[in-house]
Structure 1
Amino acid sequence: MPHQGQGRSLNNATALRHCIETLTREADFRQVRFRSDCSWTIRALVAAALYWAWSETGTLAGRWGHARGLTASGFGISSLGTACQPFLRLLTRWSDRLLSAVAASFRQLMAKELSRRFRVEGFIAFAVDGTRHETPRTAANERAFALNGAKKRDRSRGKKSQAALSKASSPQVNLTLLWHLGTGLPWAWKRAGSGVGERALLRELLQELPPKALLVADAGFTGYDLWGSILSAGHDLLVRVGSHVRLLSELGLQQGSSKDRVWLWPDNAMGLPLELRLIKTGSGTSTVWLVTTVLDRQRLPDDAVKKLYRQRWGIEVFYRTLKQKFERRKLRSRTPQHVYLELDWSLMALWALGLLALLNDRKVEPRKVSFSGLLGAVRTAMRDGSAIPKSGQRIEALLKKARIDDYKRGIKRSRNYPRKNKEPHGTGDPHISPATPDQRQRARKWFELFPLRA
């Protein structure tokens, strides 16, 4: 970090500003142009948005009060108003362009500065998963986010069932995230109302992937059309499959006689069969079936497949951090526009923390970084922007202390998230049946039409 070794003369607000400058040094802000009479600078607005998200204050207005003081001190802007709404209006106006520029800078830093971790088993690999966030029950949020056909209260239900129903019928925003396996950091996300599913959001995210990426997903991300879209975009996939998936064997199209070759090809498919490699891991009730479009075992051995899928669990831990440690299970914004603003900059704030930690200590394993500790470190610095901390309390030192120890603790059943359901979607064995003569004949016709794809 550029201010290391200079921390004795820096107060906390200036040190935080240097952190923002480090993170955004690759950002191209040419698409953001403020009016000539605007007192803000672009990086000051980015910093204020991150401070606003990092703040431990309970209300949105309180967060702005916290962010305002740090921004004014660190960036030398004395004319920032005390009201939150002007800040939110300005941030809303430019948020999409700022997020795009800052995300591009973060990705470049990950690729250049963390190049040793950018690939896993030779692939630029990403986990993908979806989640939901509750929002306040305002009229605007209910119009934008309420579940369709939410049931009315049933007085015969018990208290626990009523609570679950109340939560399910509250306005919710859907989030689908790409999480970089090598660094343990976010890469991109899409959010929408509850009527838009995680698979639809993943389709929109494909354009954010680097060339020839590998997507690692759980059993919820299956489907001929979805997988076809991923392959058409030039990417590979590694997905868990279960009893909800029907596969064909012995279609007669593979080169050689590989016993692990299967195809996804529904009867109503208007396209080529999707050729897959089937991998089994575990045994008995712990059996997991995986399929990948990487057919060459030398390029992606079975052991590497299993390792990549195990690493997918990190995205579940990231969601736990976002919802519990960062307290974003229920967002606080009362309008859909501000809901998206709050969620976007919360994700960007966690991304910034993780990236700062890895840039600050290139040797640390990403899985050893404690996001709870990182959040505590930056909040310690934010509590008094004018203070000049002692060497052991400077922000770079606090970031290095944010580590997860190796002590193995016992099971704490009160920890209910992330949780492994007893019967998650897609459990059981996939249905694999030999291709019929008619299916083999239809497949040959398709490959005659598209010989280059055979």
Structure 2
Amino acid sequence: MSHRKARSQSRRTEKVARRRSEKRRGNRKPKRRSNKLDARRAMKNFVGDEDIFSEYKFHGNIKWAARDLAQMGILFSWSEKRNVTDAFTELLKRAKLLGMAITHTTYQGFMGAMANYVHILIPLLIRRLQERMLETGDRFREVSGFVPIGFDGSRNCVPRTRSNEQELCSAKGKRKALESPSRVTDPKPQVWITMMWHMGLRLPWDWRLGPSDSSERNHVRKMIAEGDFPKNTLFCGDAGFVGYDFWQSIIKGGHDFLVRVGGNVKLINDLVDYRCLNDHEVLCWPKDKQAHQPPLRLRLIRVSVGKADVFLLTSVLSSERLPGPSMASIYEMRWGIEIEFRGLKQTLNGQTLRCRNVDRLYTELHWSLLSMAVAELLALIEQINRNDHQSGEYTPARRSLARTFKAIYDCLDDLRGTAPPDADLFARLADALTDQYIRKRSKKARYRPTVHEKKKHKNQPPKIRPITSAERKQIEKTTQNTPV
């Protein structure tokens, strides 16, 4: 073969090989993600590799691991089934597909174990949730130099079984039923939820459950006494979280607070023209505390929130450390906890719980709150990671709970299937954002009932009186500070 023919054949061979390579490259489909692997990764992102239950010893006859039971509890709550037995049947199928260790094969055994060890599993998982929150959202951890944690309460309806009526109905309703036995009154058993909520990350921080007549303030005081909070924590509450003992417990814990006050609060001031001041110090010192307890030095300010003027009281005395505009913006952020409760009741169909026994009902609600917080945390992680690599402003307020759970439900419903890279579980969690279009009309109901002007409750200022000479002398005896 001549040199010319050999060179021509070599060129032809290279050309054919190049065409084949281009054809294969053009027909190559984008790599699809396995829904099963994404679900495993999502669970691992929260639980982690370490065993957070290793320091606790369970009963010697137990053959299951606490880590496996915790994963099954979260997976059980990520179900759209309205019947608990149907949700457990779905749980077994999903756990088998995911290769998880199945701790129980019957619903009774599963819920019995969950109810027996909820006092161990839930606090440890809440602590794990708090750690992951602080690791993830450095940018949104603090607002105006404080870690803002709001608290509020809400009620959830439960089935009207005899057990629920005896344990959860308010004492006032029971007393009325006994006083008027001839009058037919329908009992309304409800569960009370008191939640602490990180206002910067917009995630549940901690919660307590109780009957329908539980005390919000007692729940909050227990959470503060038993919890571990970051430095510079600022607790924010509505007008119901008032009182000398309540505020003193927060201050003694080394924290600060910001609450709205009204006519139900009585304060003391030593200035003659204090009504002309907008930002000044006041004292909280009830008569029954003056003999043995010192007064609480607080700061009162009137700010505009929306269309109304509200009175805010804080333990931060320095206006440079916490200016008035920052107080107003932080208080407005507290309203996000109402959206959290609405998401639990409406988006997740948690308005009425499913279990008919009190112990299992509390267990169901604990795991529902935890699974909701875990889902929101996974979405927050993906949205922050995407925002770090792309330009544009992002705030956790844009996170959509409905789209977050839609992505999780679709992934778990098709564990045998796959998804393209731009539509897998984590891509959809990153896209789980609220709409940003400009509304042409208000979202208020068209047939919203009108409220008579006399029925509107305007924000009343707190009752402030001048300090007496006897109180001045008492302050000198009970405190080592300079007299007021």
Q: TM-score, normalised on structure 2? A: 0.81
Shift of 1:439: 2.0
Report the Cα distance in structure 2 between the residues aligned to 1:370 and 1:453, rounded to whole angstroms. 53
Q: 223-232 vs 380-389, which deviates more?
A: 380-389
Shift of 1:221: 0.3
Q: Confirm or deny: 8 A CA contact 2:34 2:418 kept in the other structure.
A: yes
For 2:153, which of 130, 149, 158 is the aligned residue?
Answer: 130
Report the Cα distance in structure 1 between the residues aligned to 2:218 and 2:376, rounded to whole angstroms. 28
Indicate the residue corresponding to 1:234 in structure 2. 254
Q: Confirm or deny: 8 A CA contact 2:68 2:103 kept in the other structure.
A: no
For 2:432, which of 402, 417, 420 is the aligned residue?
Answer: 402
CA 1:265/1:284 → structure 2, altered by over 3 Å: closer, same or farther? farther
Give runs of aligned pairs for residues 204-215 of structure 1, distance below 5 A: 204-206=222-224, 207-210=226-229, 211-215=231-235
Indicate the residue corresponding to 2:84 in structure 1. 60
Indicate the residue corresponding to 2:405 in structure 1. 375
Aligned pair count reads: 430
Q: CA RMSD in A?
A: 3.2
Report the Cα distance in structure 2 between the residues aligned to 1:453 and 1:383, rounded to whole angstroms. 69
Unaligned runs of 5+ in 1: 1-6
Q: 258-267 vs 430-439, which deviates more?
A: 258-267
CA 1:122/1:436 → structure 2, altered by over 3 Å: closer, same or farther? same
Report the Cα distance in structure 2 between the residues aligned to 1:333 and 1:259, rounded to whole angstroms. 50
Q: Establish whether residue 445 from structure 1 lines up as the match of residue 477 from structure 2.
A: yes
For 1:411, which of 434, 438, 442 is the aligned residue?
Answer: 442
Report the Cα distance in structure 2 between the residues aligned to 1:439 and 1:184, rounded to whole angstroms. 43
Report the Cα distance in structure 2 between the residues aligned to 1:425 and 1:348, rounded to whole angstroms. 36
Indicate the residue corresponding to 2:378 in structure 1. 356
Q: Confirm or deny: 8 A CA contact 2:305 2:328 kept in the other structure.
A: no
Q: Secondary structure at the match of 1:297?
A: coil
One-letter amino acid of the counterpart of residue 11, structure 1:
S
Report the Cα distance in structure 2 between the residues aligned to 1:95 and 1:260, rounded to whole angstroms. 46
CA 1:407/1:444 → structure 2, altered by over 3 Å: closer, same or farther? farther
Q: Confirm or deny: 8 A CA contact 1:44 1:75 kept in the other structure.
A: no
Report the Cα distance in structure 2 between the residues aligned to 1:425 and 1:212, rounded to whole angstroms. 34
One-letter amino acid of the counterpart of residue 379, structure 1:
Y
Q: Confirm or deny: 8 A CA contact 1:27 1:104 kept in the other structure.
A: no
Shift of 1:152: 4.7
Q: Confirm or deny: 8 A CA contact 1:248 1:433 kept in the other structure.
A: yes
Report the Cα distance in structure 2 between the residues aligned to 1:112 and 1:87, rounded to whole angstroms. 32
Indicate the residue corresponding to 2:237 in structure 1. 217
One-letter amino acid of the counterpart of residue 168, structure 2:
F
Indicate the residue corresponding to 1:328 in structure 2. 350
Shift of 1:317: 0.8
Percent of aligned positions with the same letter in both sequences? 29
Q: Secondary structure at the match of 2:209?
A: strand
Indicate the residue corresponding to 1:106 in structure 2. 129
Q: Secondary structure at the match of 2:152?
A: strand
Indicate the residue corresponding to 2:390 in structure 1. none
Report the Cα distance in structure 2 between the residues aligned to 1:53 and 1:421, rounded to whole angstroms. 43
Q: Confirm or deny: 8 A CA contact 2:35 2:419 kept in the other structure.
A: yes
Shift of 1:66: 1.6
One-letter amino acid of the counterpart of residue 399, structure 2:
V
Q: Confirm or deny: 8 A CA contact 1:32 1:42 kept in the other structure.
A: no
Q: Confirm or deny: 8 A CA contact 2:344 2:350 kept in the other structure.
A: yes
Report the Cα distance in structure 2 between the residues aligned to 1:135 and 1:20, rounded to whole angstroms. 29
Shift of 1:105: 1.8
Q: Establish whether residue 306 from structure 1 lines up as the match of residue 328 from structure 2.
A: yes
Q: TM-score, normalised on structure 1? A: 0.86
Report the Cα distance in structure 2 between the residues aligned to 1:212 and 1:126, rounded to whole angstroms. 11
Indicate the residue corresponding to 1:245 in structure 2. 265
Q: Secondary structure at the match of 1:183?
A: coil
Greater Rg, structure 1 or structure 2?
Answer: 2
One-letter amino acid of the counterpart of residue 97, structure 2:
S
Indicate the residue corresponding to 1:431 in structure 2. 463
